[in-house]
Amino acid sequence: MQTDFLVIGSGIAGLTFALKAAAHGKVLVVTKSELSDTNTSWAQGGVAAAVGEGDSWELHEEDTLISGAGLCNEVAVRYLVQNAKPCLEWLIDLGARFDYVPGSELPQLQLGREGGHSRNRIVHHADQSGWEIERALTEAVRKQENIRILEYAFCEALCERNGRCTGALLHPKDSDPVTVSSRATMLATGSCCQIYRFTTNPPIATGDGIGLASAIGAKIENMEFIQFHPTTLYHREARNFLITEAVRGEGGILRTIHGRRFMFDYDSRGELAPRDIVARAMHAEILKEGVPFLHLDMTHLPEEKIKSHFPKILEKLTSIGIDPMRDPIPVVPAAHYQCGGVSTDLSGRTSVPSLYAAGEVACTGVHGANRLASNSLLEALVFGASAADHAKDHASEHSAGEPRRLPLSTVRKVEVDGFIRRLKRIMMDKVGIVRNNLGLKHAAESIEELASEAQQDDRFHVSGAEAGNMIEAARIVVRHAIERKVNVGLHYNSDLGPPSGEGANRQGAST
Ligand SMILES: Cc1cc2nc3c(=O)[nH]c(=O)nc-3n(C[C@H](O)[C@H](O)[C@H](O)COP(=O)(O)OP(=O)(O)OC[C@H]3O[C@@H](n4cnc5c(N)ncnc54)[C@H](O)[C@@H]3O)c2cc1C
């Protein structure tokens, strides 16, 4: 098979690239699940853009840099914030519907406020912004004659010849693997947060892009900066359900399961401290109490407020037998966002010629050590577009390359359940919110043990490649965490000194 542009992943980054590239050649979009099964569809808060009165890209830039705790790529941040408005307008022209201020004479976007932003600048569609963006993008790509979509096709390896990416090896669900030759390849495979036991991410987020990029030798950085969201529902029937920070904003209280309020023991702002501080305090209380979860208490809030402000949460909790008007909600902090990834420049170019990356799999440097709320959809949009702009003029000629696999990805059968459960526990316990030197060392050793088991054990089934990618992503997170010798932003090792880049700890938060 041949195509001009091969896009791996159908979230906001991949589809933005596809739509822009389609004006310049044939595009093939592949995804391992159905088209809209993406992290993008799960995004709630919205897209950050300095489009409100009294706001400016300079202020957005300043907030982003403070959150990044001194580790942002300043050139990339400026590019991001200066391109927010045109990229948002493109999305609106495409058909994405955002909320407008009711009754205003001229259409005026309703702008939300989130942690770390000095102005209201979150463009949203109720609390389902990602779903609406994905809807608009998928409808648009389906209409494009130049775009072919291949669902349920797993990208097993990127292909390489003379140091250049020449396409990929795909494994469609009910047929044999096929090599696709492309003139430019966009890696838009999203996050690796499924390597953790608790995560807000959907099951597709297995870090495949990190495994694929590592196997072909692309540079990867900042993977130690994994952002944890403090309040994710802890319930057998409803995993990964995020309970928005707004609940605490409206007066929700965090308690131990014995009813003790604890946040003021850690920070004078109590439940409203930045998320990394809240997550760390929760981690300490979980260890201290020896319990698997804590409680978020809304029972003292007026019933009317709960019903009007949190209808989706109320619906979800009621469906699993929790009445938030009477019962405390069991919650745990969960891995939410991968700030690092495959290194790219302003045009989405990786260190491997003809291979581009954008979205959560990429590390443009805009997040530094801690992502500012709602900058991630924006990053995927801005750099997905800039990559297409570059690729249209610099796509190489077709050539036949060889698939570059991780040694592990040759495992054909993976006993995913037990194996992956062990990996997720190691990551959560030793490489989670608070790390220490011994724990990181043990994690590195345990992951190597798992890796050698995976190579030897032919009982393994399902996707050996996916499991291999998870191991590789976990390895890299641990390695980068060991290499980071100072506490900064989201990386906290209790054997190191107090955090540097205090800005991140004061402001850092995200949706
Ligand atoms: C609950 C939640 C709430 C969030 N809220 C916000 C918010 O309000 N604002 C914000 O800015 N960000 C938010 N985020 C983060 C944001 O949603 C993501 O960073 C962003 O959507 C990532 O987009 P992406 O295109 O990079 O990847 P994704 O949207 O995750 O798409 C990845 C694609 O790659 C495909 N894929 C992966 N591996 C392979 C493979 N091997 N072969 C083929 N296909 C593959 C997947 O199937 C999928 O199609 C939130 C995230 C979560 C989980």
Task: Note the pLDDT tens digit of each residue in 253-265.
Answer: 999 999 999 999 9
Which residue numbers are catalytic?
275
Q: pLDDT class for 467, splitting at 50, 70, 90?
A: confident
Ligand 1: residues with CB < 6 A are: 8-14, 30-33, 37-40, 42-46, 129-130, 154-155, 188-191, 200-201, 204, 208, 242, 337, 359-361, 374, 376-377, 380, 511
Q: pLDDT class for 508, splitting at 50, 70, 90?
A: very low
Q: Which residue's alpha carbon is nearest to atom 21 within ligand 1?
A: 40
H helix count then E strand count, the chain: 15, 18
Q: How many other CB atoms sit within 10 Å of the CB of residue 68? A: 30
HSE (side-chain half, CA atoms, 13 Å) at 321: 3
Q: pLDDT class for 49, splitting at 50, 70, 90?
A: very high
CA distance 193 to 142: 29
Q: Which ligand 1 atom sits closest to the C-alpha of 154? A: 42
Q: Which ligand 1 atom sits closest to the C-alpha of 360? A: 26
pLDDT digits (tens, 9 = 90+) for 307-345: 887 888 899 999 999 999 999 999 999 999 999 999 999
CATH fold label, 409-505: Methane Monooxygenase Hydroxylase; Chain G, domain 1 (1.20.58)
Amino acid 72: pLDDT: 97
Q: Which residue's alpha carbon is nearest to atom 37 within ligand 1?
A: 189
Q: Which residue's alpha carbon is nearest to atom 2 within ligand 1?
A: 43
Q: What spacing in Å lies between the alpha carbon of 38 and ligand 1's midpoint?
A: 5
* Six-digit token string for 502: 């205090």
CA distance 225 to 498: 17
- What CATH code would you report for 226-336? 3.90.700.10
Q: Which residue's alpha carbon is nearest to atom 11 within ligand 1?
A: 374
Q: Which residue's alpha carbon is nearest to atom 53 within ligand 1?
A: 201
Beta bridge partners of 356: 186, 349
Q: How many other CB atoms sit within 10 Å of the CB of residue 103? A: 6
pLDDT digits (tens, 9 = 90+) for 402-450: 999 887 655 445 456 678 889 999 999 999 999 999 999 999 999 998 8
Residues of the chain with CATH 3.90.700.10: 226-336
CA distance 56 to 59: 5
Q: What spacing in Å lies between the alpha carbon of 41 and ligand 1's midpoint?
A: 7
Q: What spacing in Å lies between the alpha carbon of 303 and ligand 1's midpoint?
A: 34
Amino acid 408: pLDDT: 65
CA distance 84 to 7: 23
CA distance 511 to 113: 11
Closest CA to 132 of 9, 43, 50: 43
What's the residue count for the chain? 511
pLDDT digits (tens, 9 = 90+) for 359-368: 999 999 999 9
pLDDT digits (tens, 9 = 90+) for 181-226: 999 999 999 999 999 999 999 989 999 999 999 999 999 999 999 9
CA distance 339 to 276: 14
Mean pLDDT score across all residues of the chain? 91
Query: Which of 10, 19, 40 for mutating ligand 1's site (highest number of atoms within 8 Å of CB)?
Result: 40
Amino acid 505: pLDDT: 38
Amino acid 115: pLDDT: 77
Residue predicted with more confidence, 383 or 241: 383
Query: Which of 38, 114, 154, 371 for mutating ligand 1's site (highest number of atoms within 8 Å of CB)?
Result: 38
Residues of the chain with CATH 1.20.58.100: 409-505
Q: Which ligand 1 atom sits closest to the C-alpha of 35? A: 49
pLDDT digits (tens, 9 = 90+) for 113-128: 887 889 999 999 987 8
Amino acid 113: pLDDT: 80
Amino acid 500: pLDDT: 61
Q: Which residue's alpha carbon is nearest to atom 5 within ligand 1?
A: 43
* Six-digit token string for 21: 């590239």
Q: What spacing in Å lies between the alpha carbon of 189 and ligand 1's midpoint?
A: 7
Query: Which of 8, 39, 117, 132 for mutating ligand 1's site (highest number of atoms within 8 Å of CB)?
Result: 39
Predicted TM-score of the model (pTM): 0.93
Q: Which ligand 1 atom sits closest to the C-alpha of 129? A: 8
Q: Which ligand 1 atom sits closest to the C-alpha of 189? A: 34
**pLDDT of residue 130 exceeding 50:** yes
Q: pLDDT class for 509, splitting at 50, 70, 90?
A: very low
**pLDDT of residue 171 exceeding 80:** yes
Q: Which ligand 1 atom sits closest to the C-alpha of 153? A: 43
Amino acid 208: pLDDT: 96
